Amino acid sequence: MTGDRQISVALPTIRRLPMYVGILEKAVQDGQVHVSSSHMAAALGLESIQVRKDLEAVGVAGQPRVGFPVAELVTAIERFLGWDNASDAFVLGAGHLGMALAGYRGFARYGLNIVALFDNDPCKIGQKVHGKEILDVARFADLAERLHVHIAILTVPAEAAAEAATLAAQAGIKALWNFTPTKLAPIEGMIVERVDLAASLAVLSSKLSSVLRPAHSEVPEEAA
């Protein structure tokens, strides 16, 4: 019953877990010790049954009539996500997006610590952004191994994505957060998660488009 926990947890559940951390931290600040699934659900626009199902996955039991222990829940979720102790990460590609991510202070909360950026542009190498140095990509593998960095954030141009991913894998990177529009072929021994802006924009613009040009031919209905 405990053995295959990580693997059997639904992906949508994992994606929702950070939201729980958010409202639970607020609850902690308010001095609440317990919080009910219906309270959390209301705060997040979900159903209480879904909250209970999600929390089942992280293995914290609630108390009937009382709710779930707030502090324990935060700890358990962060542990489940691997956010309990900060992981170092390298940014691969010091373009605008790479620099923006390197400067985002919110990652600290997610246990992500960006250590340095890497680029192949001699003009950029040696510069500092947000107190983090831009290093020569030639030094990537060596530094990743010596500093035991196993997370890389991929922000190179689309054309360079595949090559950069291979470099990362050879450098012993275990988890690659891919911000490029390139869908990479699976690489043995490396987990890849992509932030797919095109997919997100597709949802937005198709919805917008169906509002602006109201579908097709509901007209007869109205006319009749």
Partner DNA sequence: TAGATTGTTAATCGATTAACAATC
Question: Contact, 181 vs 198, CB < 8 A?
Answer: yes
Question: Contact, 20 vs 66, CB < 8 A?
Answer: no
Q: Which of residues 3-42 bind DNA (CB under 7 A)?
A: 10-13, 36-38
Residue keyed to tokens 């007209």: 219
CA distance 48 to 55: 11
Nearer to DNA, 75 or 166 (CB): 75
- Single out the residue of 48, 75, 87, 120 in contact with DNA (rule: CB under 7 A): 48
Number of residues that bind DNA (CB under 7 A): 24
CA distance 167 to 163: 6
SS3 content of the chain, % helix, strand, coil (to 5): 50, 15, 35
Nearer to its own copies, 39 or 174 (CB): 174
Closest approach of DNA to the CB of residue 64, in Å: 3
199 lines the binding site for DNA (CB under 7 A): no
CA distance 209 to 45: 26
Closest approach of its own copies to the CB of residue 13, in Å: 10
From the list 14-22, 34-42, 60-68, 139-147, the region that binds its own copies by CB under 8 A is 14-22
- Single out the residue of 17, 62, 89, 171 in contact with DNA (rule: CB under 7 A): 62
48 makes contact, choosing from its own copies, DNA, none, with CB < 5 to 8 Å by partner type, with DNA
Contact partners, residue 63, CB within 8 Å, separation at least 6? 34, 69
141 makes contact, choosing from its own copies, DNA, none, with CB < 5 to 8 Å by partner type, with none
